[in-house]
Structure 1
Amino acid sequence: MPPLADGLLSPAERERAARLRHVADRTCSVTAAALVRLVVADWRGAGPVERADVARELSVDRTCSTCGAQHGPPRVSGGPHLSVTHTGVGADSLVVVAATAAGAVGVDAEAVTDLDFAALAPTVLAPEESAEDAPRSPQRWFAVWTRKEAVLKATGDGLRTPMSEVVLGDGASLVSYRGDRLPCVLRDLDIGPDTAAALAVLGASQVTARLMDARQLFG
């Protein structure tokens, strides 16, 4: 955990992290909450000297749209739109925060591993994506998975909507969502070896992704 992280959190964020049983989960929760604050501060133009103070003073709302508890995606008044994902455990864990003014955003990252992809196909792929067009390698499978989950996060529906209702086109493109067209830009992100990641921005016609190492913000 970066030394600065815990000092940036609100009491509610610290309490939420403290309720987690495992040290790795607590560390991830604290790091993600702190990184959200630093990303917003940087997005708003705060320089290295004042960034931590700006981040600490932010009011971050995580009200879940389903149950009202404070475990939903982060929101800040005045923008930007935000999305958070994490993957891995312990020293191999990775936290990604996406921020944009262009529209609702979703980001997903997954460690590339071997799974029973044939068994997953009916729940992940739409009928028009199945059979001979199904991905043949773990890398391609997780590219599809992260693109779809990024779209689901951007819509706010999450896994309440089956992945099979997100229909992808060639490369990183969205054909339809729940049977309808949905303006969306999809981008694959290169964030490290053996990791697939994707970004979805709704309502945008063009997006340029700028990647930043979190160590630049925690400084």
Structure 2
Amino acid sequence: MASPAQSPGPVTVWWARPLDPDTHPRLVALLDDRERTRMAAFRRPEDRHRYLAAHALARLVLAAHLDADPAAIAMDRTCRCGEQHGKPTLAASPESPGFSLTHSGELVGVALGPGAVGLDVEQHRGIEVDGMSDHVLSPAERSAYTLDQQSFLVTWTRKEALLKVTGDGLSSPMTGITLGPPDTDAVVRDWAGGPDGPVWVRDLASPLDDHPAAVAGLGPSAPDVRTEDGDAVLSG
């Protein structure tokens, strides 16, 4: 797989809580038609709340960075299949910043960096670790590690963040990535079919203890990662 341009950093991450579209029409108005249609299609209210907060936050963060109207920012979601359901990117110049959205449970996040970046958060929940391991852990990891729910979610967030860097998401198998032990600093030991160059990944302390998170990008080492208040951005 060809490697996109490296991201030298720094990376900034904004964290926020989900918001009800019915009580936040100003934020709903920032979304484009495709985003509003997608949000309305969710059957569960909590999914709509997370979607609104994450996508409105991304638009506001990008607008501040680009000195642009958040509602006028054009998003490209072209998947490898040609349909518009892939990772959102800016439909702009190659100099546009990289960004990544994530949401789970009671938290949404947006990461912004000068190059490709991936962000993931996962809420602690009942997970059948043994049943999921075959879909998440590489053969080398399955033979080396016995994971509880906490360490399994740490591994999951690290891998999901890495896959978001390339834009592949879960269309590329997590089992192709081999990481170091989850109780040590994150290290990518092998990535079958991954980027040609080096990649980095690091754990993040999210605002909620039961929501482990990770951020990833391209390059030999992790840059500075700054954390900001996304709730303040959404309410501004």
CA RMSD of aligned residues (A): 2.2
Could you tell me how far apart the structure 2 residues matched to 1:116 and 1:15 are? Answer: 33
Share of identical aligned residues, percent?
37
TM-score (norm 2): 0.78
Pairing 1:54–2:69 present? yes
Residue deviations 1:117-167, cap 9 Å, x none?
1232232222222234233x3221111111011111212222222211111
**Distance in 2 separating the partners of 1:24 and 1:173:** 34
What SS does the aligned partner of 2:120 have?
strand
Q: Counterpart in 1 of 2:37?
A: 15
CA shift for structure 1 position 186? 0.5
- Residue type matched to 2:192 in 1? R
Q: Residue 50 of structure 1 corresponds to which residue in structure 2?
A: none
Corresponding residue for residue 141 of structure 2: 129
Structure 1 counterpart of 2:99, from 72, 77, 82: 82
Q: Cα gap change, 1:179/1:129 in structure 2, threshold over 3 Å: closer, same or farther? A: farther
Q: Would you say 1:98 and 2:115 are equivalent positions?
A: no
Please say if 1:157 is aligned against 2:168.
Answer: yes
1:66 to 74, 81, 91: 81
Quick check: 1:38–1:55 contact (8 Å CA) kept in 2?
yes
Matches within 5 A, 1:35-54: 35-44=57-66, 46=67, 54=69
- Structure 1 CA distance for aligned equivalents of residues 176 and 132 of structure 2: 14
Alpha-carbon shift at residue 174 of structure 1 (Å): 0.9
Any conservation in 2 of the 1:176–1:182 contact (CA below 8 Å)? Answer: no
Q: Does structure 1 conserve the Cα–Cα contact (< 8 Å) formed by 2:86 and 2:167?
A: no
In 2, the alpha carbon distance for the partners of 1:56 and 1:203 equals 32
Q: Count residues in correspondence.
A: 205
Tell me how far 1:14 sits from its aligned partner: 1.8
**2:119 counterpart residue number:** 107
Contact 1:166 1:174 in 2 (8 A): yes
CA–CA distance in 1 between the matches of 2:197 and 2:145? 22
The one of 120, 136, 141 equivalent to 2:152 is: 141
Question: Can you list the C-alpha shifts for 1:168-201, whole angstroms capped at 9, x where unaligned?
Answer: 1252111121166641111111112111111110
Q: Secondary structure at the match of 2:69?
A: helix
CA shift for structure 1 position 74 = 1.5
Distance 1:138 1:20 in 2: 28
Gaps of 5+ in 1: 47-52
2: CA distance, partners of 1:139 / 1:10: 37
Unaligned runs of 5+ in 2: 1-18
Considering Cα pairs closer than 8 Å and 6+ residues apart, tell me whether 1 or 2 has the greater RCO: 2
Cross-structure match for 1:212: 228
Q: Distance in 2 between matches of 1:40 and 1:96?
A: 13
2:14 corresponds in structure 1 to none
Q: Which whole-Å CA distance do the structure 2 matches of 1:128 and 1:150 have between them?
A: 20
- Aligned-partner residue type, residue 130 of structure 1: R
**What is the rounded CA distance, in whole Å, between the counterparts of 1:182 and 1:138 in structure 2?**
31
- Looking at structure 2, the residues matched to 58 and 118 of structure 1 have their Cα atoms a distance apart, in angstroms, of 43
User: What is the distance in 2 between the residues matched to 1:132 and 1:152?
Assistant: 22
Q: How many Å apart are 1:37 and its aligned residue?
A: 0.5
Give the match for residue 212 of structure 2.
Answer: 196
Return the offset for 1:63: 2.3
